[in-house]
Structure 1
């Protein structure tokens, strides 16, 4: 079964652009209380996921960079330490479930790599719980 029914569309997802500054990303992440956020380029192509850790490592590794200086550092210059790959909208639910074990959300792209949304771990868990109810499926039997 295709995973499209689990997607939260781009219009409902908070994200940042790689031409934004560290400061802009930090403010957005703080406002929404996010520990990670998708990063897009000007064309809407998913380029990665920025984490709080990425921002902290950038501050640590750049002697002299202080909070005020984060207004000058573009996100495309900030290394991302985890390579969170996007998945095609056509992927099967099982592949999404496996990927969600390693991250809170799975970025979803179309055939051209354009970001179209995310699938959150909570939607996957809700789907599995619903499946369990419908099929009287016991999660204790899953190995």
Structure 2
């Protein structure tokens, strides 16, 4: 039986941001890695949400004095997250994982204490499912 653990990209191989990071740090990490969304982790290592390009753009749009140059002064805590990338437990069923993958490009994975342990990308789930089709 295939489990969530089969698909997990471990935390040490995942690009993520600290909850206390700034908008500038998020923008630079997204640009460097060419990602459109990055998980956020709190000081206890727990999953705290996902920041997206859209979240950052809406923050800039809705704050006329905010420019790229002063994004280093804005904490990610001040940026509303419009999408809720919900995590799954490492013990989740394949049905739960696939259900989340329908809505999310990646699924954060947490342990029993909600500590972030990695992500599962939609891509790997689709590749796995395509191999099951005769």
Shift of 1:130: 2.1
Q: Which runs of 5+ in 1 are unaligned?
A: 137-143
Shift of 1:4: 1.1
The number of residues matched between the two structures is 133
> Which aligned pairs between 1:78-117 and structure 2 lie closer than 5 A?
78-117=79-118
TM norm structure 1: 0.89
Indicate the SS of the match to 1:49: strand
Q: Which runs of 5+ in 2 are unaligned?
A: none
Q: Write out the 4+ residue segments of structure 1 that deviate beyond 4 Å after TM superposition.
A: none
TM norm structure 2: 0.95
Indicate the SS of the match to 2:103: coil
Query: Rg larger in 1 or in 2?
Result: 1
RMSD across aligned positions (CA): 1.0
Query: Could you tell me whether the CA contact under 8 Å between 2:86 and 2:100 is conserved in 1?
Result: no
1:38-85 Cα shifts (integer Å, max 9, x gaps): 011111110101000000010011121111110100111111011111
